[in-house]
Amino acid sequence: MFATRPNLTRDLIIAAAALIVLLLLPYVWPSRMINDLVIRVSAFALFATSLNLLVGYTGMVSFGHGMFFGFGAYAFGLSMQRLGVSIPTAILITIVSSALLGLVVGAISIRLKDIYFSFITLAFQMLLYSTVIAWVPLTGGDQGLMGGIPRPPFLGIDLSIESHRYAFAVTLVVIGLLAMRQIVESPFGYTLRMIRDNTERATFLGINVFRAKLTAFVIAGVFGALGGMVMALFVSGAYPEFVNWTMSGEGIFMIMLGGLSTFIGPAAGAVILSLLNDVITRGTEHHGLVLGAVILLFALGLRKGVTDFIADWFRVRREASSRSGG
C-alpha cells in the first residue's frame, strides 16, 4: 500500500516539519491554553478529515459520522476503566472495535444512495446515542463515564502529564493525517474519486464499488474513532454529546468552513470552528446565533471553504506566471 508515489517525499517532509513545529510550540510559546486548543483541534482534525474521506473523496455524505467519534471515546474510556488494560491495548481495542462497527453499519448503509445513505447513517448514530443514554450501568447514561479515565504510563509516556499528552496528540494527528493522505493519493484513493464522479464507469471498469465504499467507510470510521479517543484523553471522560447528531453536524461544518477540495481543508476547518467557538462563547451567550451567521456566510456568501480560496489563489497565480513566462 505504501508504494512510492510522486509527492510522497514532499508529504513526508511536510508532515515531519509540521510535527517538529507542533512539538516545539510549547517551548516557543508556553501557554496551557494553546496546548489545550491544539489537543482539541487534533481530535477534531482527525474526525473532520476522516469524514471528508467519505464526503469529499467518495461522495458519500454521512450524517452519522459522530457515531464513530463518540464510539471511539467510549471504547477507549471503557477499556481503560473496566478492563484495566494498558493504553496501547486500549488503542488497539478502539481501532478494532470501531472497524467492526464501521463494517456492520457500512455494510447496511452503503447499499443506499444519496439522501437515503445520509439518513440511515444518522439513524444508526441515534441508535447508538439512545443505547448510550439507556445503558446506564455500562455508560453512566446521560452523566457519561464518571470518575476519570486512568492513564497509566507506557513506554516512558505518561499521559497524565500535560506535556506528554500534548506530544501524544500532535504525533497521533500528524501520523493520522499522513496515513489518510497516503490513502487518498494511492490508487485506491483515485478509485474512490472515480466512484464519486461516475459510479457506472467505475463498475464498468471492473471495480467492486461496494467493497471500495465499504473499505472507505471502515477506514473513515477508525480515524473518526481515534479522534474521539484523543478527546476522551483530553477531558478524561466520555459523554453522550460525543455520540449525538450535533457532533456529526460539527464535522460537516468543519469541512464546509475549511473546504472539501483540498486534503488539509477539514483540518483547517477544525481549527477555524474551534477558534470561533472559543472566541464567541467568551463574548456572548448567543453563540448559536453568531456561529450560525458565520456558517451561513460561508455557505451562502462564499460557497467555498477557506483552503479552497487559497488553492484557487495559488492556481491563478501559477497560471498567470506560466502565461507571462511563456
Catalog residues that contact other proteins under the rule CB under 8 A: 31-34, 36, 40, 133-134, 136, 140-144, 146-148, 160, 162, 231, 234-237, 239-242, 275, 278-279, 281-282, 285-288, 313
The packing angle between helices 209-235 and 187-197, to 10°, is: 110
Query: Toward other proteins, which CB reaches closer, 16 or 279?
Result: 279
Nearest distance from C-beta of residue 67 to other proteins, angstroms: 16
Residue 86 near residue 75, CB atoms below 8 Å: no
Q: How far is the CB of 31 from other proteins (least distance, A)?
A: 7
* Residue whose grid cell is 477544525: 270
Beta carbon of residue 230, minimum distance to other proteins (angstroms, whole number): 12
What is the distance between the alpha carbons of residues 285 and 251, in angstroms, rounded to a whole number? 22
Q: Which is nearer to other proteins, 107 or 296 (CB)?
A: 296
Task: Report d(CA 159, CA 194) in Å as an integer.
Answer: 42
Q: Give long-range contacts, CB 8 A cutoff, 24+ apart: 126-134.
A: 126/64, 126/245, 128/67, 128/70, 128/71, 128/243, 129/67, 129/70, 129/240, 129/243, 129/244, 129/245, 132/70, 132/74, 132/240, 132/243, 133/240
DSSP state letter for 60: -
CB of 58 to other proteins, least distance (A): 29
- Closer CB to other proteins, residue 105 or residue 232? 232
CA Rg value for the chain = 20
For residue 112 the three cell numbers come to 443506499
Instruction: Select 239 or 263, whichever has its Cβ closest to other proteins.
Output: 239
Least distance CB 242 / other proteins (angstroms) = 7
Q: Please, what is the minimum distance in Å from the beta carbon of residue 251 to other proteins? A: 15
Q: Is 4 left (phi over 0), alpha (psi -120 to 50) or beta?
A: beta
Task: Considering the complex, state which of residue 47 and residue 57 has its C-beta at the smaller distance from other proteins.
Answer: 47
- Min CB(265)–other proteins separation in Å: 16
CA atoms within 13 A on the CB side of 223: 30
Sequence-distant (6+) residues with CB within 8 A of 42 are 169, 170, 172, 173, 227, 230
CB of 22 to other proteins, least distance (A): 17
For other proteins, give the closer residue by CB, 209 or 295: 295
Task: Calculate helix-pair angle for 66-78, 245-258, nearest 10 degrees.
Answer: 120
Instruction: Write down the least CB distance from residue 142 to other proteins, Å.
Output: 5
* Residue 236 identity (one-letter amino acid): S
Q: Which is nearer to other proteins, 39 or 90 (CB)?
A: 39
Residue closer to other proteins (CB basis): 141 or 187:
141
- Nearest residue (CB) to other proteins, 146 versus 293: 146
